[in-house]
A and B are shown apart, each in its own frame.
Chain A
Amino acid sequence: MNREEYMKSLSRRLKRLPKEDFEKAMAYYEEYFDDAGPENEQQAIEDLGTPEMAADQLIREFALENAKEPPASVKKGLSAVWVGVLAVFAVPVGVPLALAVVVLLLALVIVVGALIFSVWITAFALMVCSVPCILLSFYQMTVAFADGIGTLGAGLVSLGVGVWVVFGSMALSKWFLNVVTRMFGKLVGGKKREK
């Protein structure tokens, strides 16, 4: 293995990290190689340890950090969960039992995630349905005024409930992503870090 291969392997394993953190880590390793000098390239690779190990350690550190604070947005929360999943697989433990635990936990996460996703879809459907309903009601009012008002009302209710459910599912998603991230953090060894 040479420097280029080392960096390529490292970048492949770290690419799931947030962009800024990824770039910082890569810059650190580039600098390390530069400082070691081309004549010490092999020694540097030997001293650094395998790219797999380097990436695993870093991902575990990220998972621990993410577990400490709730996500600022759903998108960040999703990325944190993803790093958490990677971190769990990066833990050096006996494989069969750990794998069973991880698969079980993942199944749980997917089930709850699917439930929350269905709430999102419901909210979305409510909002989408309300649009033609409201538009149609104006035409209907010219034909039968009372019916038109009724349709307008139904459309507005649907829109209102839809917006309300969107906010609800947003909060629910953030909460859930936070719980999952924390769970992975603990699994990876968060307890050791607390003073």
Chain B
Amino acid sequence: MIFPMNAPMFDLLVLAIAAKEDAYGYQISQVVKTVASTKDSTLYPVLKRLQEQGFLSVYDQPFQGRNRRYYRITDSGREHYKMLAQEWSAYKASVDEIVKGEGQNE
């Protein structure tokens, strides 16, 4: 993707993934990777921040003799997710309007 990612966009994607089902770090980075050109290391600070803001909670689950840390969305996380999703649709609609409008003029 040539479009840059920013903090709210990362928050939105991660919360959207966690809203579907509890997810672990590697799993989240595999999904985020499909739209972001950033390196996977970027995700750890994002997860950490979302935890500190109370939008995600974590728990450990044994997997093949080791631990996996799962991220679960909290109630306030869901609210924040809803807010971000609305912001994103509004933004996307405005951008589309400009992009498609110009297309018709040609």
Q: Does B88 contact A (CB under 8 A)?
A: no
Number of interface residues, chain B, beta carbon within 8 A:
21
A28, B33: Cβ atoms closer than 8 Å: no
* Size category of the binding interface on chain A: 20 to 34
Which one of A45-53, A124-132, A149-157, A167-175 is at the B interface? A45-53
Among B24, B33, B42, B44, which residue has its beta carbon within 8 angstroms of that of A35?
B24
- Per DSSP, chain A at the interface is helix
**What residues of chain A lie closer than 8 Å to B48, measured between beta carbons?**
24, 58, 61
Q: Does A23 contact B (CB under 8 A)?
A: no
The contact string, 1 if C-beta is below 8 Å from chain B, for chain A 156-184, is 00000000000000000000000000000
A window 50-105: CB within 8 A of B: 53-54, 57-58, 60-61, 65
Q: Does A112 contact B (CB under 8 A)?
A: no
Q: Does B69 contact A (CB under 8 A)?
A: yes
B window 38-67: CB within 8 A of A: 39-42, 44-45, 47-49, 52, 66-67
B41, A53: Cβ atoms closer than 8 Å: yes
B25, A35: Cβ atoms closer than 8 Å: yes
B26, A31: Cβ atoms closer than 8 Å: yes
Q: Does A25 contact B (CB under 8 A)?
A: yes
Shortest CB–CB separation between residue B62 and chain A, in angstroms?
12
Q: Does B68 contact A (CB under 8 A)?
A: yes
Among B24, B27, B44, which residue has its beta carbon within 8 angstroms of that of A54?
B44
Q: Does A36 contact B (CB under 8 A)?
A: yes
Residue pairs across A and B with Cβ atoms less than 8 A apart, 24 shown, are: A28-B47, A31-B24, A31-B66, A31-B67, A34-B66, A35-B24, A35-B25, A35-B27, A35-B68, A47-B33, A47-B40, A48-B39, A48-B40, A53-B39, A54-B39, A54-B41, A54-B44, A57-B42, A57-B44, A58-B48, A61-B45, A61-B48, A61-B49, A193-B7
- A31-B26, A32-B29 given; name 15 further pairs at CB < 8 Å: A25-B44, A27-B69, A35-B25, A47-B29, A48-B39, A48-B41, A49-B39, A53-B39, A53-B41, A54-B39, A54-B41, A57-B41, A57-B44, A65-B52, A193-B7
Q: Chain B: residues with CB nearer than 8 A to chain A? A: 7, 24-27, 29, 33, 39-42, 44-45, 47-49, 52, 66-69
